[in-house]
């Protein structure tokens, strides 16, 4: 059995418990087609879903994909019998309360008690809200983010008609603080986006230095911690990451994605504002929405209207089982992914067939095969990607600045400014014990590809 099924045993009990809460209604059976027709349609779906990489398996060590926790899947499915809408209390009383509680627990990770925040569709939507509020606070001013920041920032800026500028990165994929310093000195900057865990390499921008520049120049700091945000709980970070996370609570806004490292199904992002006054920008007068209560309806503080209450139920239940505390089970699992990436990085670094970049700051490793030139390494990367997939090891490919490898290139000819490399996000807790097997498959795939490249070179 590859796909976890044991947790389904407790599900029916929970459905019955939910049902019991509505026992005083007049008898009613909802219209549904017979079980046979449902089974036939579902069976087709199961068949169609085979056409996916096995994201749930530890040998899937490619993109940022983590299976939701079984309890999150079940809580989401349970809420589907109600299908609450967290736009308004009229649509989802219980799940709106759960969202407020779960979001308060996330904000508490950053030391925030008085704040404004809510769930949303994902990191893109969360960052859109943060940049939109930033543009309301300082209209007409520029948004800055590093060249390794998620592309969503420049695209969102275009959507919001805000001027965007990219700040160069150093050889570790972190915003170059000298470049930022001279740019903000020229003025006209409203917001600096500090990425706390870049998508490609998991690098962290120099937050303490960015905050020092804020003191001097008075711009807003938005922390895009969509990927890295939960690592604030990890106790095995290097000094650079630890000192950046120690200051994250000083940002003006933070984005974190429970659907990345928070064990949630897709459709769960979160945006937080340190100053609850950000709520003023969301104000609207809907003549048809908020009648059931004078209490805060989440739609009054979010841009999206209808949103799945099920996402809040899933997050709340997961945090009930795995509280967001340092030293707790949830934090230990994040630490385990980081240890996996360090162990993998060490193996790569001690094998001449590979060239490594900088050490992972979180749990993402980038590497390439050593070759005569960067362009040859690039084409070999793609071949290793394919050869590894044939062995059921699924990696990712990325195109990154060759500067990231500069210190380790040795004799390799630098004939390109970017290198197509391999990338592995070791974000599952199981990855640590699977590093030897991942290594075995990668090593086999690399030997195969390098041997045939060597043979081709000799034949030429």
- 117 vs 122 by CB, closer to ligand PLP: 122
What is the size of the binding site for ligand PLP (CB under 6 A)? 14
Rounded to an integer, what distance in angstroms lies between the CA atom of residue 232 and that of residue 196?
A: 10
- 78 vs 234 by CB, closer to ligand PLP: 234
To ligand PLP, the closest distance from the beta carbon of 301 in angstroms equals 20
* Footprint of ligand PLP on 219-238 (CB under 6 A): 224, 226-227
Among 150, 183, 247, 428, binds ligand PLP (CB under 6 A): 150
Give yes or no for residue 424 binding ligand PLP (CB under 6 A): no
Q: Give residue number: closest CB to ligand PLP.
A: 123
- 427 vs 446 by CB, closer to ligand PLP: 427
- 259 vs 370 by CB, closer to ligand PLP: 259
Give yes or no for residue 152 binding ligand PLP (CB under 6 A): yes
Among 61, 64, 106, 368, binds ligand PLP (CB under 6 A): 64
Give yes or no for residue 253 binding ligand PLP (CB under 6 A): no
Among 86, 95, 96, 124, binds ligand PLP (CB under 6 A): 124
Mark 297-336 with x for binding to ligand PLP (rule: CB under 6 A) and - for no binding.
----------------------------------------
To ligand PLP, the closest distance from the beta carbon of 226 in angstroms equals 4
Among 195, 317, 381, 420, binds ligand PLP (CB under 6 A): 195
CA-nearest of 400, 395, 399 to 348 is 395
Give yes or no for residue 429 binding ligand PLP (CB under 6 A): no
Among 99, 170, 252, 257, binds ligand PLP (CB under 6 A): 257
To ligand PLP, the closest distance from the beta carbon of 124 in angstroms equals 3
Among 62, 84, 123, 206, binds ligand PLP (CB under 6 A): 123
How are beta strands 364-369 and 354-356 bridged, if at all?
Answer: antiparallel
To ligand PLP, the closest distance from the beta carbon of 148 in angstroms equals 9
- 60 vs 227 by CB, closer to ligand PLP: 227
Rounded to an integer, what distance in angstroms lies between the CA atom of residue 76 and that of residue 9?
A: 16
- 151 vs 291 by CB, closer to ligand PLP: 151
Mark 260-289 with x for binding to ligand PLP (rule: CB under 6 A) and - for no binding.
---------x--------------------
Three-class HEC string of the chain: CCCCCHHHHHHHHHHHHHHHCCCCCCCCCCCCCCHHHHHHHHHHHHHHHCCCCCCCCCCECCCCCCCCCHHHHHHHHHHCCCCCECCCCCCCHHHHHHHHHHHHHHHHHCCCCCCEEEEECCHHHHHHHHHHHHHHHCCCCEEEEECCCCCHHHHHHHHCCCCEEEECECCCCCECHHHHHHHHHCCCEEEEEEEECCCCCCCECCHHHHHHHHHHHCCEEEEEECCCHHHHHCCCCCHHHHHHHCCHHHCCEEEECCCCCCCCCCCCEEEEECCHHHHHHHCCCCCCCCCCCCCCCHHHHCCCCCCEHHHHHHHHHHHHHCCCCCCCHHHHHHHHHHHHHHHHHHHHHCCCCEEECCCCCCCEEEEEECCCEHHHHHHHHHHHHHHHHHCCCECEEEEEEHHHHHHHCCCCECCCCEEEEEEEECCCCCHHHHHHHHHHHHHHHHHHHHHHHHHHHHHC
- 198 vs 356 by CB, closer to ligand PLP: 198
Stretch that binds ligand PLP, among 120-128, 135-143, 328-336, 431-439 (CB under 6 A): 120-128
**Which parts of this chain interact with ligand PLP (CB under 6 A)?**
64, 122-124, 127, 150, 152, 195, 199, 224, 226-227, 257, 269
């Amino acid at each position: 059995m590859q796909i976890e099924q044991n947790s389904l045993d407790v599900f029916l009990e929970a459905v019955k418990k939910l049902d019991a809460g509505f026992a005083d209604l007049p008898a009613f059976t909802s219209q549904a087609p017979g079980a046979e027709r449902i089974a036939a349609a579902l069976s087709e779906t199961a068949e169609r879903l085979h056409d996916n990489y096995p994201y749930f398996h530890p040998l899937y060590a490619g993109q940022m994909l983590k299976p939701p926790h079984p309890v999150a899947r079940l809580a989401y499915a349970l809420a589907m019998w109600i299908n609450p809408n967290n736009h308004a209390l009229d649509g989802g009383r219980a799940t709106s309360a759960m969202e407020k509680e779960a979001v308060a627990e996330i904000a508490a990770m950053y030391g925030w008690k008085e704040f404004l925040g809510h769930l949303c569709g994902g990191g893109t939507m969360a960052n859109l809200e943060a940049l939109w509020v930033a543009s309301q606070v300082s209209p007409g001013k520029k948004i800055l983010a590093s060249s390794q920041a998620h592309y969503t920032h420049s695209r969102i800026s275009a959507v919001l008609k805000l001027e965007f500028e990219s700040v160069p990165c150093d050889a570790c994929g972190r915003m170059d603080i000298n470049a930022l310093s001279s740019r903000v000195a020229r003025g006209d900057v409203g917001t600096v986006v500090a990425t706390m865990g870049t998508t490609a390499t998991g690098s962290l921008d120099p937050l303490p230095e960015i905050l020092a520049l804020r003191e001097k120049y008075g711009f807003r700091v938005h922390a895009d911690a969509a990927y890295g945000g939960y690592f604030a709980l990890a106790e095995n970070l290097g000094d650079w990451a630890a000192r950046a996370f120690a200051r994250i609570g000083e940002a003006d806004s933070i984005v974190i994605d429970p659907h990345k490292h928070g064990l949630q199904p897709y459709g769960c992002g979160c945006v937080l504002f340190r100053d609850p006054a950000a709520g003023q920008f969301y104000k609207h007068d809907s003549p048809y929405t908020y009648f059931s209560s004078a209490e805060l309806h989440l739609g009054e503080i979010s841009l999206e209207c209808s949103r799945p209450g099920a996402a809040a139920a899933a997050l709340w239940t997961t945090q009930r089982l795995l509280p967001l505390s340092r030293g707790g089970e949830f934090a230990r699992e994040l630490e385990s992914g980081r240890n996996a990436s360090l162990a993998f990085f060490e193996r790569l670094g001690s094998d001449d067939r590979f060239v490594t970049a900088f050490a992972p700051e979180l749990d993402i490793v980038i590497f390439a095969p050593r070759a005569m030139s960067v362009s040859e390494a690039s084409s070999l990367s793609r071949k290793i990607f394919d050869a590894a997939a044939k062995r059921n090891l699924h990696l990712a490919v990325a195109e990154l600045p060759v500067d990231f490898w500069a210190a380790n290139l040795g004799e390799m000819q630098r004939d390109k400014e970017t290198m197509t490399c391999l990338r592995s996000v070791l974000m599952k807790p199981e990855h640590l014990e699977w590093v030897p097997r991942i290594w075995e498959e990668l090593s086999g795939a690399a030997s195969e590809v390098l041997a045939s490249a060597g043979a081709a070179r000799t034949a030429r």
